[in-house]
């Protein structure tokens, strides 16, 4: 049990997958939550009230598009006005596009870099002054195994994820004496909509059943043969906010079933 009551966590891309699981895990420890991400209005409203009722915390939603710096600034300022500070910043929003370099559309490159990398610069830039004032902060950048190693057809994603690992290190160095830690979480495969698209594409390309495609995709990279669950990443995020993790900063931490040990 890590008591996060009185803290506010802003999780980008928390209307789905890993971000939603991290928001749930932090709310379960008492943190107020700023949700962000796209989705159906009714589903987001259900998530928002469900979290608030289940955990007795305050939950707000801001639909800022993480590819737009002005929208990010507005979201960060609104969160600070409402809660005094964003104490826990989770940079999680992300997209994927796969193609060989010579076929990779420049517009998709720009979008992946903006959402998966530059957005974390903008949120961190706006969050740090209040964290420094309070003398406490946790920045969790959801990178990927692809922040540490590469795969074919993922030039923009791998560049963005390696970039966010670098951003994490600089953030950690610049805040090392301010009670703030910054770490990159590097998951292997997690079965979320982002990965389901890749499983579906593999099944279609190689005429495989859904189960065979899933097994092939995961087994190819993860010695465990089993994916990481969103809940495991949520629990890891809670640990990184706990007093036991106070001296962990500037680290790129794999949670990948052995993917990057190879």
Contact between 13 and ligand NAD (CB under 6 A)?
yes
Both tokens of residue 9? 């966590």
DSSP result, 118-173: IHHHHHHHHHHHHHHHHT-EEEEEE--GGGTS--TT-HHHHHHHHHHHHHHHHHHH
Binding mask 118-157 for ligand NAD (x = CB under 6 A): ------------------------x-x-------------
Phi/psi at 85 (5° precision): -170, 155
Cα–Cα distances (Å) from 94 to 100, 130, 192, 223, in that order, read 20, 25, 12, 25
The catalytic site residues sit at 157
Residue closer to ligand NAD, measured from CB, 150 or 194: 194
Residue selected from 18, 167, 180, 222 as contacting ligand NAD according to rule CB under 6 A: 18
Adjacency order of strands within the sheet including 252-255:
59-62, 32-36, 8-11, 88-91, 137-142, 180-187, 252-255
Contact between 16 and ligand NAD (CB under 6 A)?
yes
Residue selected from 67, 155, 168, 183 as contacting ligand NAD according to rule CB under 6 A: 67
Residue selected from 30, 48, 60, 65 as contacting ligand NAD according to rule CB under 6 A: 65
Contact between 168 and ligand NAD (CB under 6 A)?
no
Q: Which of residues 93-122 bind ligand NAD (CB under 6 A)?
A: 93-95, 115-116
Both tokens of residue 29? 């420890």
Residue closer to ligand NAD, measured from CB, 176 or 211: 211
Q: Are 245 and 30 in contact (CB under 8 A)?
A: no
Residue closer to ligand NAD, measured from CB, 200 or 246: 200
Residues of this chain that interact with ligand NAD (CB under 6 A) are 13, 15-19, 36-39, 65-67, 92-95, 115-116, 142, 144, 187, 189-190, 192-195
């Amino acid at each position: 049990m890590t008591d996060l009551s009185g803290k506010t966590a802003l999780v980008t891309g928390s209307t789905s997958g890993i971000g939603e699981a991290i928001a749930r895990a932090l709310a379960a420890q008492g943190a107020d939550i700023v949700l962000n991400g796209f989705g159906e209005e009714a589903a987001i409203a259900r998530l928002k009230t469900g979290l608030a009722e289940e955990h007795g915390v305050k939950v707000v939603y801001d639909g800022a598009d993480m590819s737009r710096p002005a929208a990010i600034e507005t979201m960060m300022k609104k969160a600070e006005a409402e809660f005094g500070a964003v104490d826990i910043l989770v940079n999680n929003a992300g997209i994927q596009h796969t193609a060989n370099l010579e076929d990779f559309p420049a517009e998709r490159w720009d979008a992946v870099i903006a959402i998966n990398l530059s957005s974390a610069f903008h949120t961190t830039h706006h969050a740090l002054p209040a964290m420094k004032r309070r003398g406490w902060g946790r920045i969790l950048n959801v990178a990927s195994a692809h922040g540490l190693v590469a795969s074919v057809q993922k030039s923009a994603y791998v560049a963005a994820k390696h970039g966010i690992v670098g951003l994490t290190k600089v953030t950690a160095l610049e805040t090392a004496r301010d009670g703030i830690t910054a770490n990159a979480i590097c998951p292997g495969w997690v079965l979320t909509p982002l990965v389901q698209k890749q499983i579906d594409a593999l099944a279609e390309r190689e005429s495989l059943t859904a189960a065979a495609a899933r097994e092939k995709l995961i087994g190819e990279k993860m010695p465990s043969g089993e994916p990481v669950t969103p809940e495991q990443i949520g629990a890891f995020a809670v640990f990184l906010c706990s007093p036991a993790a106070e001296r962990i900063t500037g680290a790129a931490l794999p949670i990948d079933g052995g993917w990057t040990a190879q």
